[in-house]
Structure 1
Amino acid sequence: MKKLILVILGLTLAATLFAAEAATLVPPGNRNAVQPDIPGGTNVAASA
């Protein structure tokens, strides 16, 4: 039983490490000085 717990703990730790390594860091906010135009259909969809 003790070996089973150690195996499960090891697999959980490995899965956590793989997930943390796969995470992509994205800088906060849009740093572009010029923002793109908003399509007209967006306003219609938001007001519906």
Structure 2
Amino acid sequence: MQIKIISSNYLDKLEESTNIALEELKEFEIVDLKVSMLEYDIQNEFMAVITYR
């Protein structure tokens, strides 16, 4: 299964939310964690995708 976490402009907020999600998923096996950034004209969007089972 996957969880996607998105944060506009604030990488530290993405990190905080991702850490909370990982804590909630501690009983599952984390298979993959990817972080990406999309650049737009007026803002950036950061996204973390956690894959777990």
The verdict on a shared fold, with TM-score over 0.5 as the criterion, is no
TM-score by length of 1: 0.36
Larger fraction in strand: 2
Structure (1/2) with the larger helix percentage: 1
Q: TM-score, normalised to structure 2's length?
A: 0.33
Q: Larger Rg: 1 or 2?
A: 1
Higher relative contact order (CA 8 A, sep 6+): 2
